[in-house]
Amino acid sequence: MASDLASILLRKSIGSMTGHRVHCSSCRRTPLGGELMHRFEDERTLCTLCLRQLGDQAPAPVASERVSAGERRVALVKSAA
């Protein structure tokens, strides 16, 4: 009975963690800790690799955020206009 409860709590905890996970809208890859992700007005999020592939046609991101290795966010950097 106790192991059932522990199992349920563990699954619920893992499910809540994956719900907040950031991924690239283009390549669907989950970024590594320390990697920079770029958020756009249309709610898309692109990794730096996919953003560079767009070249000169790339729209300006609304914000760029470094992915934290832990649960807490470290920094939010606004992009240059």
Residues forming contacts to Zn ion in the complex (CB under 5 A) are 24, 26-27, 47, 50
Ramachandran assignment for 11, one of left (phi > 0), alpha (psi -120 to 50 degrees), beta (any other): alpha
- Minimum separation from the CB atom of position 39 to Zn ion (A): 13
Which of residues 54 and 60 has its CB atom nearest to Zn ion in the complex? 54
Residues 6 or more apart whose CB falls under 8 angstroms from that of 44 comprise 25, 26
The minimum distance between CB 31 and Zn ion, in angstroms, equals 8
Provide the minimum distance between the beta carbon of 17 and Zn ion in the complex, in angstroms, as a whole number: 21
